[in-house]
Amino acid sequence: MKILHYFIITIACIVSVSMIWYFTSYDPTPVTKENDFGINALVIHRPFLGCSVVENCIHPDYYLKINSNSSTFLTGYNICDGNSCIKKDRLFISLPVVDVLHSNYQEIPLPDNLPWKDGDFVNIKVKAPSGTMLGISISSRNATVWIDLGMSEIVRSS
């Protein structure tokens, strides 16, 4: 009988922890492939060779290189390679608009110690305002959406 009580308590704890994890990590923001602002992004790898004089010198090796065909802003990103993901939310970064004469882009540093390497493929999703935000439905609950930009190869940048 004692074993049955321990078993029930264990199952209740597992279910409780699972529910807490689900509700704290659940993101109700819809995902779409519609890219109303023409957002372009890729992950670049620029290894840092080290600091010469400064202590506590931290420089990331990977960056999200991003721009847009029209004015908008980035509120989050979610990048996965199939084995690992990095997700950042609650951003508010104005994206540069593509200009034919100038290579205009924003580089956002990604976390350190990523298990990625040059040539790996990652799926990039960015969080940005939905196209309907500019219209009459600005009070909509879903003023932002996850835009699935698809697969991209990590490229080395010098």
> pLDDT tens per residue, the chain (158 residues)?
788 778 888 888 787 766 665 555 556 678 888 998 999 999 999 887 666 666 666 678 899 999 999 999 999 999 999 899 999 999 999 999 988 787 789 999 999 889 999 999 999 999 998 765 444 444 444 578 999 999 999 999 86
pLDDT of the residue at 27: 64
Secondary structure class of 138 (helix, strand, coil) = coil
* CA torsion, ordered 97, 37, 122, 77, to nearest 10 deg: 90
State the pLDDT at residue 133.
47
Q: What is the pLDDT of residue 110?
A: 94
Residue 116: phi and psi, rounded to 5, are -90, 165
What pLDDT does residue 52 have? 62
Sheet holding 62-67, edge to edge: 106-109, 62-67, 40-45, 155-156
Identify the burial level of 128 via C-beta atoms within 10 angstroms of its C-beta, where 0-12 means exposed, 13-18 middle and 19 or more buried. Answer: buried
Return the number of other C-beta atoms located less than 10 Å from residue 126's C-beta. Answer: 26
pLDDT at position 136:
42
Taking domain 29-156, whether its CATH number is 2.60.40 is answered by yes
Rounded-to-integer distance, Cα 113 and Cα 34, Å: 32
Alpha carbons within 13 angstroms on the beta-carbon side of residue 54 total 6
Which pLDDT belongs to residue 138? 42
